[in-house]
Each structure stands twice: as C-alpha cells, then as structure tokens.
Structure 1
Amino acid sequence: MTLKNTPDRWGSISKTLHWLVVVLILCLGIVGLTMGELPKTPKYFWVYTAHKSFGITVLTLMIVRVFWRLYAGTPRDLPTTPRWQERIAHLTHLALYAMALIMPISGWLYDSASGLRPFKLFGLFNMPKLVQPDQAIRHFAHFVHEWGFWTLIALVAAHAGAAFYHHLFLHDATLTRMLPGRRAHASVPPASNKDSHHVA
C-alpha cells in the first residue's frame, strides 16, 4: 500500500481521509438529529460542544483532502465506465466535497451569529467568531445547515449506491480500490497518471 495515489488505486492517505470523514459525518448526523431531545443538563451542553468540535474536525480534514488531491492526483477512470457515467460521478463527487465543506462552515456561522459564548474546541481553546450576533445571518445559516444535511445524505446515498452497483453488477474495481487494505484489480491502460476530476 502506497501513501500516494497511483493510476489504478487510491493511496493509504486518501483512503484514511475518506473513511474518517465518512464516519465523522455519520456520527455527526446521528447526534445532530437527536441532541435537540436531550434534557438541558450539563451533558446536553457537552454534547453540543462535542458536535461543534467534530464539525470543525470535518472541515479541517476536508481542506486537507482538497490539497492532498491536488498534490497526489487521482486514479484514472475505469476504461469500462461509459463517459456519461464518468461525468455524473465527477459532478456528484464535486457536490459531495462542496457540501462536506458547507455543512461545518454553516454550523460555525450559525454558532457565531447566535451570540453565544465562544465554544472551546475539544476544551482546548475558544474558536473565533465568524460574524457578530445577527439574527438574519443566524436564520440563514440554520437553514443552510439543516437542508444541507439532507442534501448531503442524498448525495452520499447516490454515491454509495453507484459504488455498490459497479461492484455487484458491473464487477469492476470502483468500490474495492477505495476499501481499506485492499488492492484493486482494475484493468487500466498503461497511460500516465493524469489528474482527472475524480475525487476521493
């Protein structure tokens, strides 16, 4: 397993970043849907602070992913994939990246505009406020954060569904070359590792 991406598979860094973000977003989504029902006890505020802290972690990881992708390149599209499917996949991946960045930013903006005390990132230091308290910005950020979540869920479902379709019905390496510890057995032409618009 190499650290950097190769023409036929994702490297260990891309895989690690990919699955870390997947797990964190899944956990954040579950907590986000349920934490409003918690009683207003010290645990309630601890959960909210943890939610915000892990949201900033996702933002950080996504920024790292963008720069790593620019540096490491991406595997080539599989030669068996029709051009129209490649284009849809590229657009879906770009939308996933965008929403995975928009979600934590909108949450941070909502917290800033709410006029609450700065939250401590994992209890270490106060996060700066993006804006001064503002009800209009607060409502806008809340709308983006709430509906952005459902948009992200729909994109993830489409992305995962396409990967399983390729794996179960087309029997290609679309899914396996992103699985941890797996070597993809894709048949790719011996071209150079050009950077396509495919994202992890």
Structure 2
Amino acid sequence: MQSIINTSTRYGWAMIILHWLIGVIFIGQFVLGYVMMRTPSQRTSFELIQLHKSFGFLLLGLIILRIAWRLRNAAPALPASVGMLERRTAPLAHFALYAFQIALPLSGWALVSVSTLEIPTMPFNLFVMPNLPLTESDASESFWTSAHWYLAYAGIALVALHVLAALRHHFLLRDSVLARMITPSSGGE
C-alpha cells in the first residue's frame, strides 16, 4: 500500500502532490504574469491580474502547508552515489526554492496593498483579502513592482536549475533522486 508520509527512501503522496502542484502553479504564475502584462485589452488584462492574484494566494497557502508537512516528515536520504558537494548544496537549494516561493507571493500581496488604485483582491471571487498594513504610494508601488519582477525572474531561474539537476540525476547519473518524487513510498518501506 502506498503511504501518505515519507519513508527513508521515498517521498509519500502528500509531499509528491504538494511538490508537483506547487511546481505547476509556480511556473504557471510566471507565464500568466508575463502574458497579463503584455495583453492589449485592458479588460482581459484586469481579469488575468485577478486570476494571477488568486493563484498567488493559493501558492502561498500551499507552500506554507508544504513547509509544515516537511518539518514533520523527514526527507528521504540521498542515494549513496550523491557526492559530498551535492549533499551540502542540496539543502541550500531547497531552502532557496522555499524562500522564493514565499517571497514572491508576499511581494505581490505587498504590491496590491500599496497600490493607489485601491482595487480589492478577491481570491477566486470567494472573499476580499485584506491588504497588508503598508502605506499606499506611487513610490512604494514602484518598489514592490520591481521587487516582484526581480523575484519572479530569479525564482524561475532557480526552478530551471532545479529541473536540470533532477534531469541530470535521472538521465546522466541514473539514480533515484527524481524517481522518489514521482513514485510514492510504500507503507512497508
């Protein structure tokens, strides 16, 4: 029987689902952000921005859930074939991924909070999300717009490195690093 929790060699269903769901949303958010800023129709752009904000809050909630789950469920040990340098840098890379996945939606939330347009944020049209207690101003909006943009591009570069590292493990090193995030642990493992 497949397990929801991690074992010493594989991730469980909970971590696998959160990993791939967060990954798809994170990449989708980058694409959506790129498209919404280049859409000539103001109405379409507005609707895409609202969708982008909705998925941003969903992403923030999922990454907090993932970190909480990770703190209660140890990650499987790396295969013996993984070298010492990689053993030391892998936790730093994962920490950076978590940090960007939290900082990016928070910077977006800060951006809408300081906007002088005062357009309410309604995630998936379910409720009004309160703004952060920040002062509205054009200067603040400019700062948070730049911060959000730089975090997005740095975050997507980090995701690309993460994907390349996983593919390297799977196709060149032929170890179980990628497989353990695809196939869940079994209860007896």
TM-score in terms of structure 1 length: 0.86
Which stretch of structure 1 is more off in the superposition, 51-60 or 36-45? 36-45
Identity fraction in percent: 36
> What does 1:48-197 correspond to in 2, within 5 Å?
48-115=49-116, 116-130=118-132, 131-179=134-182, 182=183
| Whole-angstrom distance in 2 between the partners of 1:140 and 1:86 | 37
Cα shift at 1:136: 3.0
1:87 maps to a residue whose letter is R
Output the TM-score relative to the length of structure 2.
Answer: 0.91
Q: Distance in 1 between matches of 2:143 and 2:135?
A: 14
Q: Structure 2: how far apart are the matches of 1:31 and 1:70?
A: 31
Task: Identify, as 1 or 2, the structure richer in helix.
Answer: 2
Look up the match of 2:30: 29
1:194 maps to: none
Pairing 1:32-51 to 2, within 5 Å after superposition: 32-51=33-52
TM-superposed CA distance for 1:150, in Å, is 1.1
Structure 2: how far apart are the matches of 1:46 and 1:123?
A: 11
In structure 1, stretches of 5+ residues that fail to align are: 185-200
Distance 1:74 1:31 in 2: 31
Q: Distance in 1 between matches of 2:73 and 2:89?
A: 22
TM-superposition CA deviations, 1:75-120 (whole Å, max 9, x none): 1122211111111211111101100111100011001101322111
Structure 2 gaps of 5+ residues are none
When structure 1 is superposed on structure 2, of 102-111 and 139-148 the one drifting more is: 139-148
Distance across 1 between alignment mates of 2:56 and 2:144: 14
Name the SS for the 1:141 alignment partner. helix
Secondary structure at the counterpart of residue 125 of structure 2: coil
C-alpha deviations, 1:52-96, integer Å up to 9, x for none? 000000000000011000111211122211111111211111101
- Aligned residue pairs total 182
